[in-house]
Amino acid sequence: MKPMYVMALASLLYLPAKAQTFMTRNGKVNFYSKTPLEDIKAENRQVVAAIDLGKKTVALTLLQKNFLFEKQLMQDHYNENYVESDKFPKAQFTGTITGNVGTSPGTYKVQISGNLTLHGVTKPVNAPAELEVADGKVTGKADFKVKPSDFDIKIPALVKDKIASEITVQVLAACTALSK
């Protein structure tokens, strides 16, 4: 992962290096589009994520070109025609955690609220999430839906029936504590 993405993510959270701040460069984001005509799946395993339990903040950033598809043609169309990866290379989320969460080992059901920037458009996103604290790590999990039309992603009429109007997004980030 390029250092500028790590620095940009850290600056989004104003992160001092302390035990309540956790980070990874290997988070995972999947998305899934299911229609009667075709299923489309993609996975990105190079997601930079940070969770600050003290401030109850979370941030993620990823490069669009790091999504891998089952078919190369789908990947090419995704990058060239839909998210326009050369023009809008990153997707980012910054938000807050609502609910009880601590540094003690356990699983915490929380709500994540914030802003998702995709294809140059920023929209609010709210989703239930789970934070698991164990063995000096915090693992965050969340599922939510995104409408391509909300982010000015144009779907040509020719393939409109092959792409769902709502895309299911799954996030998994196993973060380790930043050093003091």
- Looking at residues 21-47, what average pLDDT do you find? 96
pLDDT tens-digit profile of 44-57? 999 999 999 999 99
What local confidence, expressed as pLDDT, does residue 4 receive? 47
Residue 102, classed as helix, strand or coil, is coil
Rounded to whole angstroms, the Cα distance separating 6 from 23 reads 10
Residue 6, classed as helix, strand or coil, is helix
pLDDT tens-digit profile of 151-174? 999 998 888 899 999 999 999 999
Number of helices and strands (H, E) in the chain?
2, 9
Rounded to whole angstroms, the Cα distance separating 30 from 154 reads 20
What local confidence, expressed as pLDDT, does residue 180 receive? 57
What local confidence, expressed as pLDDT, does residue 18 receive? 46
| Domain covering 19-177: architecture | Beta Barrel (2.40)
Instruction: Residue 174: name the closest of 134, 140, 144, 143 by CA.
Output: 140
Per-residue pLDDT band for 2 (boundaries 50, 70, 90) equals low
Going from the C-alpha of 167 to that of each of 5, 12, 34, 52, 162, the distances in angstroms are 25, 26, 8, 28, 12
Residue 150, classed as helix, strand or coil, is helix
What local confidence, expressed as pLDDT, does residue 137 receive? 95
Model confidence, pTM: 0.86
E runs forming strands in 39-155: 39-52, 57-63, 68-69, 90-98, 106-118, 121-134, 137-146
pLDDT tens-digit profile of 112-137? 999 999 999 999 999 999 999 999 89
pLDDT tens-digit profile of 72-127? 999 999 999 999 999 999 999 999 999 999 888 999 999 999 999 999 999 999 99
